[in-house]
Chains A and B, each alone.
Chain A
Amino acid sequence: MSQDLSQSPTAMSPEPLRPKTKRRGFLRQLIHDRPQAAVGLAIVGALALIAIFAPLLTKYDPYVSTRELRQPPSAEHWLGTDDGGFDMVTLLMYGTRTSMIIGLAASFVSMFLGGAAGITAGYFGGKIDGAIMRTADFFLVIPEVPLMVILAAIFGQSLIIIILVIGVLLWAGTARVIRAQVKSVRERVYVKRTRSLGAGNNRIIFRHILPQVGPLLVANTVLVVAVAIFDETFISFLGLGDPSKVSLGKLIENAFQAGSASRGEWWMLVPPGVVVTLLILGCTLFGQALEDALNPRLKVSYLSVRSFTIRRGISENKDEA
């Protein structure tokens, strides 16, 4: 295999390429590194399944009263009935469904607004950046709840309005995070190279920057879902939600209105609160793990307290530093 190296110095002899190392799927790796992601995913997954398959899981109709008012938990009604005679378990299932839909929809609105704003601000910089970020600051600073109340009171109580209101409130946080990453990706050599090739802004943003920023946007949106669900719950609790839909917040509001606390009718008040808490907790756990894994700025190196291992050939001896 003697090679005459002075011949064809320009061609490469087929050198072994870096191997495609068997990488674990992203999700598996994430769960391995951050077990809380698994917990969050499990909770949200379970609740989502229940929400989707609600009609199959319960024989009761959430809009039809069983006429058994304020019944404590029993064999027919595992969590009893509320003051209108509706089965609590059924209400919970449908309520979860509504809350999740609103949460997801609102966070999509926020994702599009926040993503677009963040990318525009980060990419173009200068005055555009300033204008967008000042607007975002404004939204970040306003107290959400009074604004929600006012907007809901003015624009009415339909589902769409609620979704839009929440979405408009939440875009600013996403915009900030995305803008920061866009600014850093923009400075990378391959982006500058593509620009000097003559690429226009559209190409650079959609082909080069968006794919880099996309995962972070998704992670951030999962966190926004958690907040959106909370916001919706709160709006409904205040009585400003869509009256025609059953949502978890509405259930809590209803329980208050019916005086269930003072009557000791815990099954009307506590279960919706627990479910909403679980839902938000699950989204937050998963979302934070995801953002942790994807946001390069959040990478923290931990100085290892454990030191290296000495091999003696006979026994292995682990040292503690």
Chain B
Amino acid sequence: MSAQSQRLLEIQDLFVQFPVPRGIVGAMRKRPRQTVKAVDGVSLHLDRGEMVALVGESGCGKTTTAHSILRMVEPTSGSILLDDIDVTQYAPRKMRPLRRHMQMIYQDPYESLDPRFRVRQTIAEPMQIHRLPGDRETAVTEALERAGLVPTDLYSERFPHELSGGQRQRVAIAASLVLNPSLLVADEPVSMLDVSVRAGILSLLDGLRKDGLGILMITHDLSTAAHFADRIAVMYLGRIVEQGIAKEVVRDPQHPYTKALLSVVPPRDPRDRKTPQILQGETPDAVRIPAGCRFHPRCPVAQDRCKLEDPALHKPVSGQTSETHEAACLLV
């Protein structure tokens, strides 16, 4: 590991835009072309051995950001450096060797495995795709062990429908480990699993992180992010509006959106019932991003200048937060 730098992933000024199809009628009526600005200027970094949680509501761009890292979606502009190699510069055809180093875990464990493949076939497949030398069987066994599916011979011959959701997710994780990636992107890895199984999967990811993997976890569940991630980045309408050390962001949020989001998470303890700061309305769609600060229409403390200036991420001026804690709000 010493030969590699600590910095695994560096995203700089990522923009991902999609044109909205006008259709024939729209073209004839000369309606202005609209674009969905799914990711509107995101910069993020991830070190080896670190888990960063990308948090936000649907439509905030977190999934699109994750997909563009793996080039499942084409970035419009910006750079994505994986171990100092700019992933965006590669033609899709040339991406194969790079794909070994970054893997994705999907949200739905019931759909992410081919129902006709046995567990060992699913895990061995990445090796076949990349024509890796070496004993496939041993590699499969090791991957199963790393994913906590022991005794391995109990699981390797099974079909997905014989496994529970948690077991399937472990198989998916094992299949991604077999190539020894440096980066793991986990898209809502536990949201479709029962509560009693979640901690097992998350601890597994945590263990992999300790082994040196860098993990980018997409989630809407702030409690999970607070517990398992090292850092949290909160996204709203295509931008990161706050980021910092997980526990700090949760205990000392700076951005009004983060504060509102945290306030509506129901507490476990009925005695902790608090007054949630429920924002009215819903997130506007990414075609019509508000001018100035994109959050100002729903912001409980918005001022006049918020309609005009678009804040960038910066360290809050109060000086009471740590070095790495940043927020994109004119009022902090």
Contacts and interface: CB of A to CB of B under 8 A. Distances in A.
Contact of A212 (B111, B116, B128, B179): B116
B154 A10 contact: no
Contact of B204 (A10, A188, A211): A10
Given A189-B111, A190-B111, A198-B96, A10 B148 contact: yes
Given A17-B162, A197-B125, A211-B116, A10 B200 contact: yes
B141 to A, nearest CB: 15
Given A12-B167, A20-B162, A190 B70 contact: no
Interface in B199-216: 199-200, 203-204, 207
Interface of A: 9-12, 14-15, 17-18, 20, 188-194, 196-200, 203, 207-208, 211-212
Contacts of B128: 203
B241 interface: no
B163 A12 contact: no
A9 B164 contact: no
Contacts of B170: 12
Given A12-B150, A198-B99, A193 B112 contact: yes
B104 A196 contact: yes
Contacts of A20: 162
Contacts of A212: 116
Contact of B113 (A9, A11, A190, A198): A190
15 contacts: A9-B199, A10-B148, A10-B200, A12-B166, A15-B164, A17-B154, A17-B162, A18-B163, A190-B111, A190-B112, A196-B72, A197-B126, A197-B179, A203-B128, A208-B114
Interface string B227-265: 000000000000000000000000000000000000000
Interface in B161-181: 161-164, 166-167, 170, 172, 179
A190 B114 contact: yes
Given A9-B199, A12-B149, A18 B112 contact: no
B130 A198 contact: yes
A12 B164 CA distance: 12
B108 interface: yes
A197 B114 contact: no
A287 to B, nearest CB: 23
B112 A9 contact: no
Contacts of A11: 148, 150
B235 to A, nearest CB: 22
